[in-house]
Amino acid sequence: MNDQVRQLQPAALWNNFADLNAVPRPSKKEQRVIAFAKAFGESLGLPTSVDEAGNVIIKKKATPGMEDRQPIVLQSHLDMVHQKNSDTVFDFDTQGIEMYVDGDWVKAKGTTLGADNGIGVATIMSLLASTDIPHPAIEALFTIDEETGMTGALSLKGGLLDGRILLNLDTEEDNELTIGCAGGIDLTANGTYEQVAPKGNTAFKLSVKGLKGGHSGVEIQLGRANANKLMNRTLLNLSKDFAIEIASIDGGSLRNAIPRESLALIVCDEQKATKLKEAVTTLEGVLQKEYGTTDPNLKLSIENAELPGKVMDAAFQQKLLRCVYACPNGIYRMSPEIEGLVQTSNNVARVLVNDGAYNIQCLTRSSVDTEKGDLADAISSTFELMGAAVTTGGAYPGWEPRPDAPIVKIMSDLYQELFHTQANVDAIHAGLECGILGTNYPGMQMISFGPNIFGAHSPDERVQVSSVQKFWSYLLETLKRIPVKAN
């Protein structure tokens, strides 16, 4: 299937993408892709280094006639989100992504594709290897762990880069020029609880499946269902009417992905089993009606299961369900200054309750740091009411827009010239590394752009072939327009 991708144009870019996607590269486990990028730079005879964090920097001199231009930094991240459908048999630690071409789109077989941000990485690789593309001096910066903490960008020291213009290739709509983004913070609630023998004698497995999921930043405004919240809603309703006992809950996976699936093991009295199943069917209809537009394949199902030996203590069960119910999810506040921009949000990303311990994970985002902290405090307070130990970490700053930066005018004017329409110059409600990188490189002009990548952070992820071609031509022309160095 990957051979289909290698036949696409521009050939160098797609071949580099196929090579990259053959390398397992989950966040926090980037050793193999770091070695891959380092070997690539060295194979070209270019100065290549790996910093203490694992970021890879490859430098290339300007082509003849471009030596007087300002040096630029081309930046993308090496890691990718690993998500798969529950019925897909795939080992992300050992297998390369299985890609195929579907019309004007490249997709993956039941998994995330890695176009976020693999297309950006492959693009930079193509420029580094080129012999006939005019460009100023290039510093390729391949960061690690962007998806689960941005620790690569946070650890990048000042003084390693000379470029004064940074082109980040991590935007996912080809008519967008991104000049600002939200910051984020990870919040985790942990604790233990008493287990007791079940009073009921019949067990069932509940499942929420078929949700769209997606990127918890740029797609949070779409109002898609969150599997953790739907499961919690289901369990609280059933506990009121059927006195169910919960043995375990397992929902969601990554903080930056809207949860698509959740499973729970419950116990009830056998005499209530028929009515319980009917109630689940009724609630499924309610949820399908509420989310028919955003999540048309939503399924809430119940099936018989083996009776567990232990369930949650009843008092803890009620605290847990009510605290998860109360936890904010989705949009918290829209920007009062930028029309259509989500300012602050939260994603209830992971709920794992089993064998006497629980772990609840959220990702809180905001373009206003004080509001991000305020929402994190509200969420912390909610879970502290149930006795949880709440910790925060992985905080990263937002990227303050600089619409007057010269590179913004250069690229917006060029977009109009090439495509006869205006680009959307805006900020996004997602994490980009630009704000972090700017802390150690103050004054560096920054802008982010890229091709159409839809469904990122989910198995529906796909990248548009024609849009990649548009993005490639736009980038090549941009390189020609980089201004000369200041005297």
Mean pLDDT over 250-276 rounds to 95
Class of domain 185-396: alpha beta
Length of the chain: 487
Give the mean pLDDT of the chain.
96
Query: Rounded to an integer, what distance in angstroms lies between the CA atom of residue 258 and that of residue 250?
Result: 14
What is the pLDDT, as a whole number, of residue 328?
97
The answer to whether 419 touches 411, Cβ cutoff 8 Å, is no
CATH architecture designation of domain 2-182+398-481: 3-Layer(aba) Sandwich (3.40)
Domain with CATH 3.40.630.10 in the chain: 2-182+398-481
**What per-residue confidence (pLDDT) applies to 25?**
96
Summarised one tens digit per residue, pLDDT across range 139-176 is 999 999 999 889 999 999 999 999 999 999 999 999 99
What pLDDT score was predicted for residue 385? Answer: 95
pTM: 0.80
Whether 1 shows a pLDDT value over 90: the answer reads no
Vertex 238 angle, CA 236 and 244, to 5°? 100
Which sequence positions are flagged as catalytic? 79, 146
Q: In the chain, where does the domain assigned CATH 3.30.70.360 lie? A: 185-396
Structure-block tokens of residue 227: 């599997």
pLDDT value of residue 398: 87
Q: What is the pLDDT of residues 16-57, one digit of tens each?
A: 999 999 999 999 999 999 999 999 999 999 999 999 999 999
CA distances from 164 to 3, 64, 161, 281 (A): 38, 20, 8, 59
For residue 487, the model assigns a pLDDT of: 65
Q: Give the span between the Cα atoms of 364 and 375, in whole angstroms.
A: 7
Q: Average of pLDDT values for 370-391?
A: 97
Residue 17: partners with Cβ closer than 8 Å, 6 or more residues away? 5, 115, 118, 119, 121, 122
CA distance 44 to 54: 20
Instruction: Tell me which of 232 and 435 has the higher pLDDT.
Output: 232
